[in-house]
Every structure is written in structure tokens, then in C-alpha cells.
Structure 1
């Protein structure tokens, strides 16, 4: 397989992302349905939290002035009452309103109960164990900035402020176009005849699109026909991103890169990625187009390397670092010089067992593996016993 040029993975990714405009469409959603969504406006606190002085402990609301001089040798006695007055205290639980007359809360364990009186053997400074108004959140304070990815704990904060609806960016729509004369649609109840394959790539791509925050638009299988491929891409230019599976190599019927060039601009065809070299990247009508190899494992690597960051930028979804762990290799991993190699490994504790590192079509090795060891193009593999970073697939 010969390519006229091979673009560095980092350079290709930079070019691709530079061509992508972030999401502008927004929608109003109930806050409780917005986990994992991205705020399109900043949120200001409509009120203080707490909106009253609250007790931080179980104990007694007191006037600190009544405890001046209290010590083990000179204890102070206070009357338990409903109101806090000179010489009295009121029982409170954590979170309770602290009466205006009180300026401190004495912890239950620091008192000795004697009938309807309590004995106190230590002084207390004003404000002790009392949560001030607005201690958590001040009215008109910026709670979350525009572009914030909402988490469950954030939804709880919104609820505490009485905010029931939030304005978020719409999810990016990703059109998935499978190509190939050998493909058959799912579900495949029968064993495909020799030379035919089930279109598992569309399912795999769509599941990751949904997982990463997008909406998958599944398209019919397109035969290896230049005009039909062009029609399929053209009819999906209303999407926020297009992923074409198959037809990216250099064979006589690998039309996809040429079609992208005709419709817009082909940025890259052929990258230093192993597996995934035949990947092509382009843009048409401001819609980014990822053309990934039809071989499942190669396609998945291309999807991780280019599709995920592109979808995140298209959807204005904040970048989150990949989850990586340190592990010791139980065997040697080879890599191709000049290529960023994604080597699949199985984790057993802190040991990483290399799986098949060649074979772009071996999807089962992805399913069996827990993650990738990503080897830079200037590194000639890793020896047995090396400490490596494993990027978890999930």
C-alpha cells in the first residue's frame, strides 16, 4: 500500500481541529436532565446559600459573651430554653437555624447536662460553629462558567439554588456513512456468505459517538460508486460531523478521499498511525469529515486519534484527559519507525500483557484488551519489563 505522503499524527490532528467550528446551537433543558451537557451561558447565583445562619454542629446556640471566663475550675451554667437570652441556650441540630440573639454554637460533647441546665468549661469565640449567610454561595456569584461540563454534584448545587432549567449546547450530530460492496446491514441472523461482512463499524462508531456526547445518525450502506458516495456525503452536510467508514486506501475503488476533495478540501490522506495509516481527513461546507479505514481495529484507532477530539470540538465539549495507569510489560512490544503505534494490552493488576499488535482487522483483540500503549513515532517499541502508560479504552 503506497501513499504519496504520510502526515505526522500530531500535525494531521492540528490541521483537522483547526478546520472545525464549535457548536453554536443551544437548547433549554431541565437541570435534572443535563448531566454530561455543556453550559452555553454562565450561571449566576440567584440567592445566598445558606440563606440563613445555620448550625454546623449538634449542640446549643449560645451568646459567647455568656461564656467569658469559663474554665474547668470556673464552669458556667446556662439554662436550656426555647430562646437565647442572657443566661440561656437553645438546643440546635446540624443545619438548624441559629437564633439571631446567638452568635455561636457549643458542641454537645463539650457540655455536661444537669437537669435542665448545662455546664460549660471553656470559652467560645463569636461565630464558632455557625455557618454564615452565603457561606457556600453568594448571591450573584458566578457558579459555573460558560463551557462547563455538568456533573451530578453540579446538578445538586443548581437544585440548592432553585435553578430548574439550564441553557446548554446542542449535542453534535454525527452522520455515519459505511461504504463497501462487501457489507451487509445489521442485524445479521445468518452467517454472511463468503466475501461478505456485517457492517459492525457503524454500530461501533455510533456507540462511541453517543458515549462521547454526540448524536449518531446512521446511514445506509453505500456501494463502491463515486457518485453514490458523493450523494451520501452531500445529503449529510447538515450534520455537525461526518464519519465515512471504508474506501480510504489506494485501491481502484477507494473513492472516498477523492470525493471529499471534490466537495470541499482534503486536508490529509495517509497518516503516521499504526494501525490506521489510510485515514483521510477533510472538510466540506464547514463540516469536518473523518474518513477511517474499513478494517475495524484500524478504524477504531483512527476514531480515537481523530474522531473523539473532533467531536469534542464540534460540540464545544471540554477536553478531559484520557485515563492512564502505569503498568509493567510482560513482553516486548514492537512498533513501526515513523508511526504512532497503538499496541493493545490486557491488564492483570499492574502487569500489561501485549496482545496482537499487527492486524488492522482484528477487532476481537480490541474487545479483549483493556487499553492501548501509545508508542511515539521516534520510539522503537518497548522491552519486556518496561514501565509504560496504558490508556484505558473505557
Structure 2
């Protein structure tokens, strides 16, 4: 008789136990701004200069003395001489962003003028500093521009360039070991044509590694490890220099499922058996302060564990700040059934302004995820949703 799960831990409780055993990485590195998007600042950024550092024209037009435009209107235009300097009765053409000429204190936008040779007909009165960007108007010297822990975006890189930065100090990305296990697995390099019956191409580890990279980690994709405790143990020990270890496969209670037991022999299993469907066989542990996630071998169950535990684990390791989840509100085009006591991961497709659950979407059918546009999470205390009910839809990344 096979082993059975002694207990089932709720998703929320499992995540709490897992995250409280993870400490953010404090090691830092300097990187060029070209690669800073998605990285987390390791120190506050204080401006060492004014931006802009000169008075500049805010719009295309004519730099003038504001006093020369008093009373100007379409019915009563003021005539100014186009010149190479600004003094009483004269003006200079300026482009947006150009330095304001000496003597000028305002810009008349081109739409409020007409020209005849070297004569500018000004049809609107302007006041001092009108359409003029002042020194430090954007950022003043000494301003605190970004705090430590800020998640950098492309627009932030542009701001840093304007401050004279070429590189920036960020927290190091976490390195995540991805270890696929299973005697039935065969690598793409060795597969040749279609694998023989009973053998499958290794794909879960590849999926995990790509998600690790997407979520802010650096994957260390290890070769396939056999379903033997000693082999799994050696693979784990060889990768304890990483920041997290993902074991793919061998997490259930069959004769060839050794991953949780090996983790327990080297450290501590925090949770084995999750209140998630699919995803129940997942296990979470800690070895020498290195968090370990045992991902179920069924592809969709593995994906659920990646979403529920690996993504938040990477975010904590990398000190990535919390951002609001993108959630779409949609009504159901068909009823959703679910298991009480489990958080149910229901794959859905969009049908105009509604979503429809995919039928026949078992945990071993990875193509159901590829066909899906998103997923609905049915709470453990809810027995499904009726057709027409509004639900929260999470997009599949």
C-alpha cells in the first residue's frame, strides 16, 4: 500500500510558512542603465544637479521680453523685429528645449504669431516666464528622486540619465536551481525523434526556468536527475550555493516519489500536501537557509505551485516591492465546479465580454494552459460559481 498525505495545508498558511523562512538578498552590484529595467535599487538616489540646468523654451515660438507684448491680441497685434538678439522691440526664434536667449523672459508660441519677412506679428500677450522652463523645475539639486527598494522602469532610466548616471547600484538577482527529476524523462538533446513509450520529453524544468527568469531570478537549469534518493541528494547538495532550489517531479506518495523525504533528510520539510487543485502534492522546505520547492510532476500542478510559491518566493528574495495584481472582472459563460477545501485553479478562455472554463482540463494536460487566456481561483470554502456570476480573472503570463 502506498504512502498517503498525512495532512493538507491551506495555500495561505503554506505561503506564510514558506516566506517567513526566506530573507531578502542584500548583496549588491552595479549595472548599466540599459539593463536596469525590473531591477531593485539598493540605495536612494539623490540628485547632484538641477534638471533642467538652464532656462529653456517650453514650446516652439519666439523668445521675447514680456513687456513688449503688453496689450497684444488678434485684433491689436504687436509688431516685433526678428533678430539675433533680444532687446526692446525684437525677438528670436527658439525651438522647444532651446536655451533662452539673454534678455528674453518669455516665449510667444508660434500659433499666436504671424510673420512677414523679418517682422513678427504677436497676437497674444505673455507674462514673464510664460512658456519657459526654469532651472531645477523638473528636479532640484539635493532632491531625493528614488528610495532604496524602488523597482526600476524604463522611464526611471531616462530620469537617471538626466541626472548624469551611467550605472546604478541594485540588489543582486537570486539564483534559482531548477532540477528536473524522473527516470521517465529524456532531454531534448538526446530525444532524436519521438521518445519511446513510457518516456517523455523534459518540459517542466524548462517551463520553471523560463518563469524564474521572467519573475526576476537567474535560473540554473540542471540536467535530468534519476528517481533515486542518493541522486536527488547529490543534486541538491551541489546546488546549495544558490538562493532557492526547485525540484520538479517526485513529490507525491508513489514508490518513485522521493523528493520531500530527501529534503527532510537534509533539512526541514515545512509543508507537504497543499490545499490546491491541481497542486496538492507540492512540498516546501528549507535546507541550510536555502528555500526548496518540490514541484509536482503533472505540468499544470507544477505551474500552480510556481504561481503560488515560487513567484512570491523570488519576489521576497529579490526585494521586489508589491505591485497590484492585474485582475479582470468578467462574467462566466458556463458554470464552474470545484472541490471544497481546495483553492481551485480553473483555466478559462475569453468569449467576447465573458469567460468560459475549459473542459477536460486535467492536471497532466499542459496544452490546456496554452489554450487558456487566464485562470480563475475558486476559494477553498466556495463550491464553484454559477453561469453569469462575475469572477476575477488572472491573465496567464
Please tell me the TM-score bracket, short chain as reference.
over 0.9
* Partner SS state of residue 102, structure 1: coil
* Partner SS state of residue 372, structure 1: strand
| Structure 2 partner of 1:240 | 243
1:353 aligns with 2:356: yes
| Structure 1 partner of 2:53 | 51
| Structure 1 partner of 2:332 | 329
* Partner SS state of residue 366, structure 1: helix
Could you state the TM-score of these two structures normalised by the residue count of structure 1? Answer: 0.94
Partner of residue 194 from structure 1, selected from 188, 192, 197: 197
1:43-67 CA distances to partner (integer Å, 9 max, x unpaired)? 2223222111111121111111223
Q: Which runs of 5+ in 2 are unaligned?
A: none
CA drift at 1:358: 5.2
1:54-93 CA distances to partner (integer Å, 9 max, x unpaired)? 1112111111122334456654332221111122222212
Partner of residue 254 from structure 1, selected from 253, 257, 264: 257
Moved more, 280-289 or 36-45: 36-45
CA drift at 1:315: 1.7
1:120 aligns with 2:122: yes
Asked whether the equivalents of residues 343 and 357 of structure 1 are also in contact (C-alpha less than 8 Å), the reply is no
Asked whether the equivalents of residues 46 and 145 of structure 2 are also in contact (C-alpha less than 8 Å), the reply is yes
For these two proteins, the number of residue pairs brought into alignment is 394
CA distance in 1, matches of 2:75, 2:356: 69
Asked whether the equivalents of residues 81 and 118 of structure 2 are also in contact (C-alpha less than 8 Å), the reply is yes
* Partner SS state of residue 137, structure 2: coil
CA distance in 2, matches of 1:10, 1:347: 28
Q: Which runs of 5+ in 1 are unaligned?
A: none
* Partner SS state of residue 243, structure 1: strand
| Structure 1 partner of 2:286 | 283
Over 3 Å counting, the alpha-carbon distance change for 1:357 and 1:379 in structure 2 is farther
Moved more, 218-227 or 10-19: 218-227
Asked whether the equivalents of residues 376 and 394 of structure 2 are also in contact (C-alpha less than 8 Å), the reply is yes
Asked whether the equivalents of residues 278 and 293 of structure 1 are also in contact (C-alpha less than 8 Å), the reply is yes
CA distance in 2, matches of 1:60, 1:174: 59
CA drift at 1:94: 1.2
CA distance in 2, matches of 1:253, 1:135: 67
CA drift at 1:273: 0.5
CA distance in 2, matches of 1:92, 1:366: 56
Moved more, 349-358 or 124-133: 349-358
* Partner SS state of residue 66, structure 1: helix
1:159 aligns with 2:197: no
**In the TM superposition, what are the counterparts of 1:256-275 in structure 2 within 5 Å?**
256-275=259-278
Partner of residue 374 from structure 1, selected from 377, 384, 390: 377
**In the TM superposition, what are the counterparts of 1:128-143 in structure 2 within 5 Å?**
128-143=130-145
Asked whether the equivalents of residues 85 and 102 of structure 2 are also in contact (C-alpha less than 8 Å), the reply is no
* Partner SS state of residue 303, structure 1: helix
CA distance in 2, matches of 1:318, 1:141: 22
Partner of residue 314 from structure 1, selected from 308, 314, 317: 317
Asked whether the equivalents of residues 212 and 218 of structure 2 are also in contact (C-alpha less than 8 Å), the reply is yes
Asked whether the equivalents of residues 183 and 198 of structure 1 are also in contact (C-alpha less than 8 Å), the reply is yes
| Structure 2 partner of 1:217 | 220
* Partner SS state of residue 326, structure 1: strand
Asked whether the equivalents of residues 76 and 120 of structure 1 are also in contact (C-alpha less than 8 Å), the reply is yes
CA distance in 1, matches of 2:232, 2:226: 8
1:334-370 CA distances to partner (integer Å, 9 max, x unpaired)? 1110111100111233221211365211111111111
Over 3 Å counting, the alpha-carbon distance change for 1:357 and 1:128 in structure 2 is farther
Could you state the TM-score of these two structures normalised by the residue count of structure 2? Answer: 0.94
CA distance in 1, matches of 2:211, 2:122: 62
Asked whether the equivalents of residues 374 and 396 of structure 2 are also in contact (C-alpha less than 8 Å), the reply is yes
Asked whether the equivalents of residues 108 and 124 of structure 2 are also in contact (C-alpha less than 8 Å), the reply is no
Asked whether the equivalents of residues 223 and 229 of structure 1 are also in contact (C-alpha less than 8 Å), the reply is yes
CA drift at 1:114: 4.0
